[in-house]
């Protein structure tokens, strides 16, 4: 008995160690879409040309056809250098309680888990916190069966109602992240912040995600912009850093809601580069494929102009994103006037801007604070920024999205002023070396 117990413990430790080594880890900056196109040769070739890295493959609930259909679609994705999330009606907590469906789920996972194009499993969009225990159970089951692939769940934005979030504050709010300090317009006990942080805290503790994904739609038909966009980015960034996982930002590229306006190229670029400045490691466009009334990038299979806008932006984001994958986001600051939920440039910031509306994202490379992204917060007009740099004596480099190389901009002596010109909503990546 004692010998068997020792063997059992050793086996469990070996299994745990093996699973830990095989856990999903993001390898490249993710550029994807909500509502992916059918996985045909033509569509996958178009996605690859448009610089997407991740798509989706969909199967029905038929146990006989699902496995072969999934594998054939994954083969097409692989042919064009794409990874894919698997969509299946079997990917629900209820499948674990039905012996027949559980067997079908096991067979489907076993059939696809060794395919090199599989990135993971698409589970659910915007669940209430009341459902987190059930989805957490499914995530744990999938990670036991296939630890090397992502179990993907997308979350609500900050403007979701208390009922949608599924949380109550019956006592002290969850302090998993600590209450955010020095965010413009956010005083103590802000109900939006407290409820959203409670939602995030329950998600992280009960589901244990490997990436935090959320959506937030900012641009309205009347010409107005939403108030909470940067607040949402800040809260997600804090939560992702606390959990030690990357985050994915789903951004607006359709008019599915009557109140939304159809974004233009500069507004789309603004959304993408703000994600970079805040340290996001993944970007998704909503939506890609749908009927005319949804106003997506492809309407009844016909390509729309904003699909071309996304393709051009994807190329830039893909190049810069791969560099940022190796860096650690350390801070994000805004120039005045400060939007809701943002932080002002502190006096000790190594990058300062006296005038204009800009965002500065600071990054470390191997523990050294030496890189930054600057974004033009104005998506209507180009702007020039005079940067005062206090990195010390050394060299300033600009990353070229055209050739993927660093080029020296100038030598620095300390307290230097460097001019940067940015198109509407655009950004640039810089680094300092001694």
Residue closest to 197 by CA, chosen among 214, 178, 216, 210: 178
Residues 319 and 343 in one domain: no
9 in a structural domain: no
HSE on the CB side for 92, CA within 13 Å?
Answer: 11
pLDDT digits (tens, 9 = 90+) for 269-298: 999 999 999 999 999 999 999 999 999 999
12 in a structural domain: no
Residues 358 and 304 in one domain: no
On average, the pLDDT of the chain sits at: 93
CA 318 to chain centre: 13
Residues 311 and 340 in one domain: no
Report how far residue 384's alpha carbon sits from residue 366's, in angstroms, rounded to the nearest whole number: 30
What phi and psi values does residue 336 have, to the nearest 5 degrees? -75, 150
Task: Give the CATH number of the domain where residue 402 resides.
Answer: 2.60.40.1180
Residues 270 and 366 in one domain: no
pLDDT digits (tens, 9 = 90+) for 293-316: 999 999 999 999 999 999 999 999
Angle (CA) 114-116-120 rounded to 5° is: 75
Report how far residue 133's alpha carbon sits from residue 94's, in angstroms, rounded to the nearest whole number: 12
Q: Last residue of a domain, which of 292, 325, 358?
A: 325
Task: Give the CATH number of the domain where residue 120 resides.
Answer: 3.20.20.80
Tokens of 30: 């993710």
Q: Last residue of a domain, which of 325, 348, 380?
A: 325
Residues 398 and 370 in one domain: yes
Residues 310 and 375 in one domain: no
- Asked if 180 and 235 count as a contact pair (C-beta separation under 8 A), the reply is yes
Residues 404 and 303 in one domain: no
Residues 126 and 224 in one domain: yes
Per-residue pLDDT of the chain (434 residues; tens, 9 = 90+): 333 333 333 343 334 333 344 799 999 999 999 999 999 999 999 999 999 999 999 999 888 899 999 999 999 999 999 999 999 999 999 999 999 999 999 999 999 999 999 999 999 999 999 999 999 999 999 999 999 999 999 999 999 999 999 998 877 666 688 788 899 999 988 999 999 999 999 999 999 999 999 999 999 998 999 999 999 999 999 999 999 999 999 999 999 999 999 999 999 999 999 999 999 999 999 999 999 999 999 999 999 999 999 999 999 999 999 999 999 999 999 999 999 999 999 999 999 998 999 999 999 999 999 999 999 999 999 999 999 999 999 999 999 999 999 999 999 998 899 999 999 999 999 999 99
Residues 227 and 357 in one domain: no
End-to-end CA distance of the chain: 63
Q: What is the pLDDT of residue 414?
A: 86
10 in a structural domain: no
Q: Is the pTM of this model over 0.85?
A: yes
What phi and psi values does residue 296 have, to the nearest 5 degrees? -80, -170
Q: What is the pLDDT of residue 189?
A: 85
388 in a structural domain: yes
259 in a structural domain: yes
Residues 411 and 298 in one domain: no
Q: Find residue 122's DSSP bridge partners.
A: 152
237 in a structural domain: yes
Please list, in sequence order, all residues whose beta carbon lies within 8 angstroms of the beta carbon of residue 392, skipping any fewer than 6 positions away.
412, 414, 432, 434
Please list, in sequence order, all residues whose beta carbon lies within 8 angstroms of the beta carbon of residue 220, skipping any fewer than 6 positions away.
226, 259, 260, 261
Domain ranges, residue 388: 329-433
Q: What is the pLDDT of residue 174?
A: 67
Q: What is the pLDDT of residue 6?
A: 34
Q: Last residue of a domain, which of 325, 347, 366?
A: 325
Work out how many domains the chain is built from and give that number.
2
């Amino acid at each position: 008995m004692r010998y068997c117990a020792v063997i059992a413990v050793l086996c469990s430790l070996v299994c745990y160690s093996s699973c830990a080594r095989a856990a999903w880890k993001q390898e490249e900056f993710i550029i994807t879409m909500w509502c992916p196109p059918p996985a045909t040769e033509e569509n996958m070739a178009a996605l690859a040309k448009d610089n997407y890295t991740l798509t989706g493959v969909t199967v029905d609930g038929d146990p006989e056809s699902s496995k072969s259909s999934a594998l054939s679609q994954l083969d097409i994705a692989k042919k064009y250098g794409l990874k894919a999330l698997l969509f299946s009606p079997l990917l629900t907590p209820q499948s674990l309680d039905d012996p027949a469906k559980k067997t079908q789920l096991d067979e489907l996972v076993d059939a696809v888990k060794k395919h090199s194009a599989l990135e993971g499993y698409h589970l659910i969009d915007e669940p209430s916190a009341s459902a987190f225990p059930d989805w957490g159970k499914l995530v744990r089951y999938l990670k036991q069966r296939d630890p090397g692939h992502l179990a993907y769940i997308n979350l609500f934005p900050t403007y979701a109602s208390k009922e949608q979030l599924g949380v109550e504050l019956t006592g002290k709010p969850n302090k998993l992240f600590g209450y955010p300090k020095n965010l413009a317009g956010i005083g103590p006990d802000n109900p939006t912040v407290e409820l959203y942080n409670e939602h995030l805290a329950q998600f992280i503790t009960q589901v244990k995600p490997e990436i935090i994904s959320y959506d937030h739609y900012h641009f309205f038909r009347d010409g107005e912009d939403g108030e909470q966009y940067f607040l949402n980015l800040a809260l997600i960034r804090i939560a992702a850093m606390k959990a030690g996982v990357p985050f994915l930002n789903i951004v607006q590229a359709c008019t599915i809601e009557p109140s939304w306006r159809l974004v233009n190229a500069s507004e789309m670029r603004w959304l993408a580069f703000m994600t970079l400045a805040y340290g996001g490691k993944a970007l998704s466009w909503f939506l890609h494929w749908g009927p005319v009334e949804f106003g997506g990038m492809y309407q009844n299979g016909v390509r729309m102009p904003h699909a071309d806008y996304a393709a051009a932006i994807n190329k830039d984001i893909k190049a810069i994103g791969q560099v940022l994958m190796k860096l650690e986001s350390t801070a994000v600051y805004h120039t005045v006037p400060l939007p809701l939920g943002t932080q002002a440039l502190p006096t000790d910031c190594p990058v300062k801007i006296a005038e204009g509306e800009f965002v500065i994202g600071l990054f470390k490379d191997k523990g050294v604070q030496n890189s930054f992204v600057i974004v033009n917060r104005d998506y209507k007009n180009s702007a020039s920024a005079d940067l005062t740099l206090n990195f010390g004596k050394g060299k300033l480099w600009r990353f070229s999205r055209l050739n993927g190389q660093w080029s020296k901009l100038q030598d620095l002596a300390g307290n230097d002023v460097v001019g940067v010109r940015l198109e509407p909503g655009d950004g640039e990546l810089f680094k300092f070396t001694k």
